[in-house]
Amino acid sequence: MNRWTLGQLAEYVKGSVHGDPSAIIESVATLENAQAGDISFLANKKYTNLLSTTKATAVVVAKEIKSTANLLIAADPYFAFTQIIILMNGHRRHPQTGVSEKAVISSSASVGKNCQIADFVTISDNVSLGDNCVLYPGVFIGADSKVGDNGILYPNAVVYDKCTIGKNCIIHANATIGEDGFGFATYKGVHHKIPHIGSAILGDDVEIGANACIERGTIDDTVIGQGTKVGDSVVIGHGTRIGRYCLLVPQVGIAGSATLGDYCAVGGQAGIVGHIKIGNQVQIGAKAAVINDIADGQIVVGSPAIDANKAKRAYSLIEYLPEMRKKIKDLEKRLDSK
């Protein structure tokens, strides 16, 4: 039964209670929609004013603050709240289909223990599937590919041949892993297809969004590092290497043979050209166009992408270009007339 005291939750997330530790919490909600029995959270200052009107029984916050609700104070409220969501709801419970007779599994494939393989799944020759994998209907795993333990592949996700998916990976619906990259040798105007003999390798704990595309490498492999999360409709080019624990927000595009370090964050719709090197802990703004190498720890914004501090002001001044141009003309006239 979903029923905790606020004190129990505080203990669970190693936080402290400011208010009534015996208050009963039964579910989670946003500040705006919370009712009695709900716990909510404040991670974004923008919503601070909601603390004085929320009907939540408790709110997870970083420090003491005025509120109509009891407070659960935690060093990292967002993480604490996440732990509480998981405690109360768990992750998605998948259909326990066992191995469907309507799936087609090659006799040369190896399937681990306790896998749920749904109808209309195709597991090709020499595929190796770890334990506890969940393959939803319409999933295709190409020949010689591997999926590690606890892999979850949602409906119609496609993994081409000779790819490697690490442990605990999640591939969302309609994502494509290991398709041929956009590689053609143009000769006398005709684009000749280059066989892509590299593959696509996903480290452990990688999540790939719906309808995302991870091209296989032309010669060297495309690699997504451990713990990296890739959003919906992202496209990663052939031979690109993404480090560990990166966040690539939906619709990002990274061209081929680029390198990203560890702990990078790339905002939505940003683009990174091929053959460049992005360091560790780099942050790239939404819609940025990155065309040069970036050193460790830099934050860039804009199209073309420049240092974020400069960029915020610089790009906001585009609006004043007509005025600036007029002033220059005026100045010229004034000087001419002197």
Active site residues: 238
Tokens of 51: 């603390």
How near is the Cβ of 254 to its own copies at its closest, in Å?
9
Does residue 148 touch its own copies according to CB under 8 A?
A: no
How many whole angstroms separate alpha carbon 15 and alpha carbon 57? 16
Strand ranges in 227-317 using DSSP code E only, listed in sequence order: 229-230, 235-236, 241-242, 247-248, 253-254, 259-260, 265-266, 271-272, 277-278, 283-284, 289-290, 299-301, 306-307
How near is the Cβ of 179 to its own copies at its closest, in Å?
4
Residues between 172 and 191 with contacts to its own copies, criterion CB under 8 A: 172-176, 179-180, 182, 184-187, 189-191
By CB under 8 A, name the one of 17, 28, 165, 169 that touches its own copies. 28
How near is the Cβ of 252 to its own copies at its closest, in Å?
9
Does residue 78 touch its own copies according to CB under 8 A?
A: yes
Whichever of 3 and 102 has its CB closer to its own copies, that residue is 102
CA 213 to chain centre: 13
Tokens of 274: 């091929």
By CB under 8 A, name the one of 3, 14, 63, 275 that touches its own copies. 275
- Count the residues of the shown chain that bind its own copies, applying the rule CB under 8 A: 116
Residue length, the chain?
A: 338
Residues between 47 and 66 with contacts to its own copies, criterion CB under 8 A: none
By CB under 8 A, name the one of 66, 90, 107, 113 that touches its own copies. 90
Q: Which stretch binds its own copies (CB under 8 A): 49-57, 65-73, 127-135, 215-223?
A: 215-223
Q: Is the dihedral of CA 308, 310, 315, 316 positive or negative?
A: positive
Residues 308 and 284 sit within 8 Å (Cβ to Cβ): no
Burial class (CB in 10 A: 0-12, 13-18, 19+), 327: exposed
DSSP state of 332: H
Whichever of 21 and 155 has its CB closer to its own copies, that residue is 155
By CB under 8 A, name the one of 54, 67, 269, 283 that touches its own copies. 269
Does residue 1 touch its own copies according to CB under 8 A?
A: no
Residues between 229 and 268 with contacts to its own copies, criterion CB under 8 A: 229, 231-233, 235, 237, 245, 247, 249-251, 253, 255, 263, 268
Does residue 85 touch its own copies according to CB under 8 A?
A: yes
By CB under 8 A, name the one of 24, 273, 299, 308 that touches its own copies. 273
Residues 113 and 127 sit within 8 Å (Cβ to Cβ): no
Does residue 210 touch its own copies according to CB under 8 A?
A: yes
Q: Which stretch binds its own copies (CB under 8 A): 18-26, 54-62, 113-121, 127-135?
A: 113-121
Tokens of 106: 């090659």
Whichever of 21 and 281 has its CB closer to its own copies, that residue is 281
By CB under 8 A, name the one of 3, 22, 197, 295 that touches its own copies. 197
How many whole angstroms separate alpha carbon 246 and alpha carbon 202? 13
Residues 15 and 73 sit within 8 Å (Cβ to Cβ): yes
Looking at the chain, list the stretches that DSSP marks H as alpha helix, in order from N- to C-terminal side. 6-12, 77-89, 308-316, 321-336
Q: Is the dihedral of CA 73, 77, 83, 87 positive or negative?
A: positive
Whichever of 146 and 244 has its CB closer to its own copies, that residue is 244
Give the H or E element holding residue 174: none
Does residue 194 touch its own copies according to CB under 8 A?
A: yes
How near is the Cβ of 181 to its own copies at its closest, in Å?
9
Does residue 105 touch its own copies according to CB under 8 A?
A: no
